[in-house]
Amino acid sequence: MSRYTASVRWSRGDAKFTDNRYSRCHAWQFDGGAIVAGSSSPHSVPLPYSDAAAVDPEEAFVAAISSCHMLFFLSIAATRGYRIDDYLDDAEGFLEKDPDGLMSMTRVILHPHVEWSGDERPSAEEISAMHDEAHHRCYIANSVKSAIDCEPR
């Protein structure tokens, strides 16, 4: 078993708080020392109480799925002898009502674009199979109830 941690810290500052007019800005700190500015999404809580420049949980959810998929895909490709020069995924997540009427990240669509080099290059079918394997090996994808689709570009 592996254990992963993140510290999330928010402070009220001098805001009254009980009037619901307080900053949602906070910090995420990870075990390696990285600190990321976090906030509610401006789609959920209007400015200035949200910070559009900070990472919101919905964006982090999409990024975590995309990152996990990419890391497995890179490993699979390397193991099979294919060389990747660049990988870009403009992933999308959709927050909408689920069948129970709750707001939920109901879908995540990955849009990976891979730049290959070297003498050996995979066929379209092999690329699709590697994405499928990466999806099934991805810890994050295996952990969520949302549908996660992969649509390579």
Digitized pLDDT (tens) for each residue of the chain, 153 residues in all: 888 889 999 999 999 999 999 999 999 999 999 999 999 999 999 999 999 999 999 999 999 999 999 999 999 999 999 999 999 999 999 999 999 999 999 999 999 999 999 999 999 999 999 999 999 999 999 998 777 889 888
The backbone torsions φ and ψ at residue 60, rounded to the nearest 5 degrees and listed phi first, read -65, -40
- The CB density around residue 68, as the number of other CB atoms within 10 Å, is 19
* Residue 147 contacts residue 106 (beta carbons within 8 Å): yes
* 24-41: b (≥16 Cβ within 10 Å) or e: bbbebeeeeeeeeebbbb
* Two structure tokens written together for 45: 């809580």
* All CATH 3.30.300.20 domain ranges in the chain, comma separated: 57-150
SS3 13: coil
CA atoms of 148 and 68, how far apart (whole Å) = 12
> Which of 85, 84, 86, 89 lies closest to 135, judged by CA?
89
Domain boundaries 57-150, CATH class: alpha beta
Instruction: State the amino acid at position 19 in one-letter form.
Output: D
- The CB density around residue 44, as the number of other CB atoms within 10 Å, is 15
CA atoms of 133 and 135, how far apart (whole Å) = 5
Predicted local distance difference test score (pLDDT) of residue 145: 77
Write the DSSP symbol of residue 142.
G
Predicted local distance difference test score (pLDDT) of residue 34: 96
The backbone torsions φ and ψ at residue 139, rounded to the nearest 5 degrees and listed phi first, read -60, -40
